[in-house]
Amino acid sequence: MADDARLDDPTADPMQIAAEAAAALAELTGVARHDIALVLGSGWGGAADLLGETVAELPAHEVPGFAKPAVVGHVGTIRSIRITGSDKHALVLGSRTHLYEGKGVRRVVHGVRTAAAAGCSTIVLTNGCGGLDPSWGPGTPVLINDHINLTTVSPLEGATFVDLTDLYSQRLRDVAHRVDPSLDEGVYVQFRGPHYETPAEVKMAGIMGGSLVGMSTTIEAIAARHAGMEVLGISLVTNLAAGISAEPLSHEEVLEAGRAAGPRISKLLADIVSDI
């Protein structure tokens, strides 16, 4: 099934569409229920191969509400993986819709809502981003302990009030620290994109308390909390943010940093998921 036009209809129920997508996933993968979801951003794709046995892999656009990826470096598949050493199943979402694509916030969070409808109680959100701390060189993984959403939008509609005080789970961050005690933590700031931030905007983010800047994750995290999932966020610093370094920014730089760090961060993520 191609991109579902119902997500553009304000009278349609996005939760119902997510439930239909989850039912389609169960039928297409043969897995009735999944336990943990992973959204793999730039640089993180290799982690899926280390999680366990792939039970099924399918093009995302065959599932209601999903579209083909519009960004180089993102894969357009959904995988069901039986996690090594357990009877649990991971749902790996390689197809991410960014807000800057202009497809609407419902599509940005459709994967998260589908994962929740498929049974996932935990979600790991990853991304590639710019770092404000000069000690975080390209290839440094950083746990997200809070966020600042500068996109001006929310995935929640109407009088839907959700507490975000502990959005990024302390329990899951503790698991990650047991796997790798050297992991730093930071506050992720999401800009709308697709242009990179100006040096002044990066400086503003730092004054506000941010230490990571990017174009994804926060809206998905809000939707995940609304759906009742426990959230772990991990950023891969692919470059120093504008103004922190004199070097110009480029998407190719992001991809190259992800490729270089891929084996190390993939093993890190797989070990964290195994512990979870």
Q: Is 239 annotated as a binding residue?
A: yes
The residues facing 56 across adjacent strands are: 80
Query: Number of H helices and number of E strands within the chain?
Result: 8, 9
Max Cα-Cα span within the chain: 51
pLDDT at 2: 46
Catalytic residues: 197
Task: List per-residue pLDDT tens for the chain, 276 residues long.
Answer: 445 688 989 999 999 999 999 999 999 999 999 999 999 987 788 888 999 999 999 998 889 998 776 655 555 889 999 999 899 999 999 878 999 999 999 999 999 999 999 999 999 999 999 999 999 988 999 999 999 999 999 999 999 999 999 999 999 999 999 999 999 999 999 999 999 999 999 999 999 999 999 999 999 999 999 999 999 999 999 888 887 776 776 667 666 766 777 788 889 999 999 998
What stretches of the chain adopt beta strand conformation (E)?
36-39, 52-59, 77-83, 89-93, 122-131, 140-149, 184-190, 212-214, 230-240
Contact (CB, 8 A) for 113 and 160: no
Q: Is 42 annotated as a binding residue?
A: yes
pTM value is 0.92
Q: Is 216 annotated as a binding residue?
A: yes
Written out in words, the top-level CATH class of the domain with range 6-275 is alpha beta
pLDDT at 88: 95
Alpha-carbon distance values, 93 to 38, 130, 137, 149, 266 (Å): 6, 22, 27, 22, 15
Q: Is 122 annotated as a binding residue?
A: no
Q: Is 96 annotated as a binding residue?
A: yes
List CB contacts of 62: < 8 A, sequence separation 6 or more.
Answer: 1, 24, 28
3-state SS assignment for residue 41: coil
pLDDT at 75: 58
pLDDT at 254: 66
pLDDT at 243: 77
